[in-house]
C-alpha cells in the first residue's frame, strides 16, 4: 500500500494545526515538513520550533526534509523537537556516513535525498544504513513545480538495488506529484509519495488523497 505524505509547505500557515489535523483525518500516512535555509535552496521556511509545534497536534510520523547546508548542526534540535524521520541532502553534507549515524544516535530514522541531477551512485555505499531514500522529482526550494520525468530511472535503480540486496529503505518521491504523475512513480518502485499543492490547494483533502491513491 502506497503511503501519502502531505507537504505542509502548501498549507495555510495561519492555521497550521488545523491543516495538519485535516490531512490526518483525510488519510495521510506521514506529515512532510520542508526545512529550507536560504543557502542550500533559494528559500527560507521552517525550523525546529515549527516541528515542535506540529508534534502534539498529530500522531502521524513527522517526515522532516532538511534542505540545509551542513545539516549536522541541526540534527539534535530537530530530533528533540519530535522528528521521526530526518532526511539530509547528499549534496549538502561532507561526511554522509557520519551524518546518518548522528541521526540514528537520537533514535530517529535516517533518510538521504538526491537532487534531480544527482546519480544513485552518490549514495550507493550507505544504502544498507538507510531507512529512506528520497528522490527529488523537482529542483528543491518551492512547492507547485512540474514533475521531472527524467528522474524515474533513478527510482527504478533504487528499487532494483533494494530487491537484489535485501535492503529495507523506503523509496519516497517529492515534487510535482499529483493524480497524473503518481502512477509512474509507484510503477518505478516508490512507496511514499510527497504531495503539497495537489493536496493542500484543494478544499476537500480527503478527496484529493483518494484521487492520488486511486491513480497510483
Ligand X SMILES: O=C(CO)[C@@H](O)[C@H](O)COP(=O)(O)O
Q: Which residues are annotated as a binding site for substrate?
A: 7, 65, 141-144, 174-176, 196-197
Which residue stretches of 87-173 are H helix? 96-105, 152-165
Choose the catalytic residue: 22, 63, 131, 174.
174
184-206 burial: b if 16+ Cβ within 10 Å, else e: bbbebbbbbbbbbbbbbeeeebe
Residues numbered 57-76 forming contacts with Fe ion, rule: CB under 5 A: 65
Task: Tell me, yes or no, if 22 is annotated catalytic.
Answer: no
Using rule CB under 5 A, residue 89 touches Fe ion? no
129 φ, ψ (degrees, to nearest 5): -95, -5
Choose the catalytic residue: 22, 34, 63, 131.
34
**Binding-site residues:** 7, 32, 34, 65, 141-144, 174-176, 196-197
Task: Tell me, yes or no, if 174 is annotated catalytic.
Answer: yes
CB distance 43 to 142 below 8 Å:
yes
CB distance 22 to 205 below 8 Å:
yes
Q: Residue from 34, 63, 170, 172 that binds Fe ion (CB under 5 A)?
A: 34
Which residues, 6+ apart, have CB-to-CB distance to 194 below 8 Å? Answer: 5, 6, 7, 32, 63, 65, 134, 172, 173, 174, 175, 177
Nearer to Fe ion, 105 or 209 (CB): 209
Using rule CB under 6 A, residue 184 touches ligand X? no
Residues numbered 151-210 forming contacts with Fe ion, rule: CB under 5 A: 174
Using rule CB under 6 A, residue 133 touches ligand X? no
Footprint on this chain of ligand X (rule: CB under 6 A) = 7, 9-10, 32, 34, 65, 138, 140-145, 174-177, 194-198
Name the site residues for Fe ion (rule: CB under 5 A): 34, 65, 174
Amino acid at each position: 500500500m502506497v503511503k501519502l505524505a502531505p507537504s505542509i509547505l502548501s498549507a495555510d500557515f495561519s492555521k497550521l494545526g488545523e491543516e495538519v489535523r485535516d490531512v490526518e483525518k483525510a488519510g495521510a500516512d506521514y506529515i512532510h515538513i520542508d526545512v529550507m535555509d536560504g543557502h542550500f535552496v533559494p528559500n527560507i521556511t521552517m525550523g525546529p520550533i515549527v516541528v515542535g509545534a506540529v508534534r502534539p497536534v498529530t500522531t502521524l510520523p513527522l517526515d522532516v526534509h532538511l534542505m540545509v547546508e551542513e545539516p549536522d548542526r541541526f540534527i539534535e534540535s530537530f530530533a528533540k523537537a519530535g522528528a521521526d524521520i530526518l532526511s539530509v541532502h547528499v549534496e549538502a553534507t561532507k561526511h554522509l556516513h557520519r551524518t546518518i549515524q548522528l541521526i540514528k544516535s537520537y533514535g530517529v530514522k535516517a533518510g538521504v535525498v538526491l537532487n534531480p541531477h544527482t546519480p544513485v551512485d552518490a549514495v550507493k555505499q550507505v544504502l544498507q544504513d538507510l531507512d529512506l531514500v528520497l528522490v527529488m522529482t523537482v529542483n528543491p526550494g518551492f512547492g507547485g513545480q512540474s514533475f521531472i520525468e527524467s528522474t524515474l530511472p533513478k527510482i527504478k535503480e533504487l528499487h532494483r538495488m533494494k530487491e537484489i540486496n535485501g535492503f529495507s529503505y523506503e523509496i519516497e518521491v517529492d515534487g510535482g506529484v499529483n493524480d497524473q504523475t503518481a502512477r509512474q512513480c509507484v510503477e518505478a518502485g516508490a512507496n511514499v509519495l510527497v504531495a503539497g499543492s495537489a493536496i493542500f490547494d484543494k478544499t476537500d483533502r480527503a478527496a484529493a488523497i483518494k484521487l492520488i491513491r486511486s491513480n497510483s
